[in-house]
A and B are shown apart, each in its own frame.
Chain A
Amino acid sequence: MEIMRLVVAGTVGAGKSTFIRTISEIEAVDTDKAATDETALLKKKTTVAFDFGRLAFGPEMALHLYGTPGQARFDFMWDILIRKAHAYILLVAANRPSEFRYARQILQFMKQRVRIPMIVGLTHMDCLEAWDLETIKISLRQLEGKGHPPIITVDARDEASVAEALITLMQLLMQTREAAENSMNSP
Chain B
Amino acid sequence: MAINTEKLAHLLQEFVTVTADVQGAALVTPDGLPLASSLPGPMDEERVSAMSAAMLSLGERICKELARGIIDRIFVDGNEGYGILTSCGEDAVLLVLANRAAKQGVLMLEIKRALESIKPMLA
Q: List residues of A whose CB falls within 8 A of some B CB.
A: 29, 31, 33-37, 39, 46, 48-49, 69, 71, 73-74, 76-77
Is B31 a contact partner of A36 (Cβ separation < 8 A)? yes
Q: Does B81 contact A (CB under 8 A)?
A: no
Is A37 a contact partner of B33 (Cβ separation < 8 A)? yes
Query: Which chain A residues lie closer than 8 Å to B30 at the CB level?
Result: 33-34, 48
**Given A31, A39, A76, which contacts B51 in the complex, CB threshold below 8 Å?**
A76
Is A33 a contact partner of B31 (Cβ separation < 8 A)? yes
**Given B46, B47, B53, B65, which contacts A48 in the complex, CB threshold below 8 Å?**
B53
**CB<8 Å pairs between A and B, sample of 10:** A33-B31, A33-B53, A48-B50, A48-B54, A49-B54, A49-B57, A49-B58, A73-B33, A73-B50, A76-B47
Is A36 a contact partner of B33 (Cβ separation < 8 A)? yes
A76 to B61, CA, bound (A): 19
Q: Does B29 contact A (CB under 8 A)?
A: yes
Query: Which chain A residues lie closer than 8 Å to B65 at the CB level?
Result: 29
Interface size on B, residues (CB 8 A): 17
Is B46 a contact partner of A73 (Cβ separation < 8 A)? yes
Most buried by B among A33, A73, A76, A77: A73
Chain B 78-100 residues near chain A, CB threshold 8 A: none
A100 to B57, CA, bound (A): 29
Main secondary structure of the interface of B (DSSP, over half): helix
Query: Which chain B residues lie closer than 8 Å to A74 at the CB level?
Result: 32, 50, 54
Most buried by A among B29, B32, B47, B61: B32
Query: Which chain B residues lie closer than 8 Å to A34 at the CB level?
Result: 30-31
Query: Which chain B residues lie closer than 8 Å to A33 at the CB level?
Result: 29-32, 53, 57
Q: How far apart are B49's CB and chain A's nearest CB, in angstroms? A: 7
**Given A29, A36, A69, which contacts B29 in the complex, CB threshold below 8 Å?**
A36
With A73-B50, A76-B50 in contact, is A48–B31 under 8 Å at CB?
yes
Query: Which chain B residues lie closer than 8 Å to A49 at the CB level?
Result: 53-55, 57-58, 61
Is A29 a contact partner of B61 (Cβ separation < 8 A)? yes
With A29-B65, A31-B61 in contact, is A77–B31 under 8 Å at CB?
no
Query: Which chain B residues lie closer than 8 Å to A76 at the CB level?
Result: 47, 50-51, 54
Query: Which chain A residues lie closer than 8 Å to B46 at the CB level?
Result: 73
